Amino acid sequence: MTTKTTILTLAAALACAAAPALAATKAAAAKPAPAMPTIPALNASCPAGLMIATDGAGAVRINGKAAKPRRVNDKTVSAAAQGGVVVSLSIGEDGQPVVSTTGPGRAHASCTLADPAAAAAATPAVAPPPARATSSSQPSIAPVLRAAYCRNEVAGKFSIKPESVSMDRPIAESGGGTRVEGTANLGSEGRKAFTCQFDETGRWAELKLP
């Protein structure tokens, strides 16, 4: 066998050996990236003066400026804000959108959602009341914000993320008050039922646990 024949034979052998790896590389390159989760159009107010808006088509704006969303998992996207704060937008276990922030030191905070159509008429969101405050000393919570207020109360009570709280729609009671029922996912402790109670004027009353 001549030197030229040997070289050609070795080249052919190397090409055959490399073919599977090359095919795998091409297949991996051709594999489409995971789809971004669909976050519905919403407006939310977060701590530190952050205002979050989405258009339902993938765009995210923070304080009016476009932010680049990043896929976290099948139900969550995140976007960077100023000061090292990361905004998370996800779909909770009840199918409703949940917005929260994580700041330096992994400080976690919940954001309050507002219905864009009712935002002009809605009372601004307020911080959760002190544990010993009475209902009469608290401002009225607009109907469109009561579910989000309840979610934040429950998340704070059990030290869990808001997306772990599932709720039904608010129920108007015959006496004029409103209640919101649901369950909180406590991980290894299972699910905990709760009822958020608002009085007839829309003020926060109490969190009832079985």
State pLDDT tens for residues 136-193.
456 788 887 788 888 888 988 898 888 889 988 889 998 889 999 999 999 999 999 9
pLDDT tens, position by position, 47-67: 777 888 888 888 898 887 888
Residues 112 and 133 in one domain: no
> What is the domain count for the chain?
2
Residues 142 and 86 in one domain: no
Residues 63 and 134 in one domain: no
Domain around 162: 126-210
Residues 135 and 202 in one domain: yes
Beta strands in the chain (DSSP E): 42-46, 50-54, 60-62, 65-67, 70-73, 76-80, 86-91, 97-102, 108-110, 112-114, 165-167, 171-172, 178-185, 191-198, 204-208
* Pair of tokens at residue 5: 């024949």
Beta-ladder partners of 193: 183
In this structure, what are the phi and psi dihedrals at residue 72, rounded to the nearest 5 degrees?
Answer: -100, -50
Residues 110 and 147 in one domain: no
In a domain, residue 82? The reply is: yes
Residues 107 and 64 in one domain: yes
Residues 97 and 138 in one domain: no
Residues 176 and 139 in one domain: yes
Residues 40 and 112 in one domain: yes
Characterize 178-195 residue by residue with b for buried, 16 or more Cβ atoms within 10 angstroms of its Cβ, and e for exposed. Answer: bbbbbbbbeeeeeebebb
Q: How confident is the model at residue 27 (pLDDT cuts 50, 70, 90)?
A: low
Kindly state the percentage of the chain with pLDDT values over 70: 74
Residues 209 and 157 in one domain: yes
pLDDT tens, position by position, 191-207: 999 999 999 998 889 99
Beta-ladder partners of 87: 79, 101
Rg (CA), the chain: 26
Indicate the pTM of the whole model: 0.48
In a domain, residue 179? The reply is: yes
Residues 141 and 97 in one domain: no
In a domain, residue 13? The reply is: no
Residues 88 and 149 in one domain: no
In a domain, residue 186? The reply is: yes
**Domain final residue, candidates 92, 119, 146:** 119
Identity of the residue numbered 176: G
Cβ within 8 Å of residue 34, ≥6 positions away: 71, 74
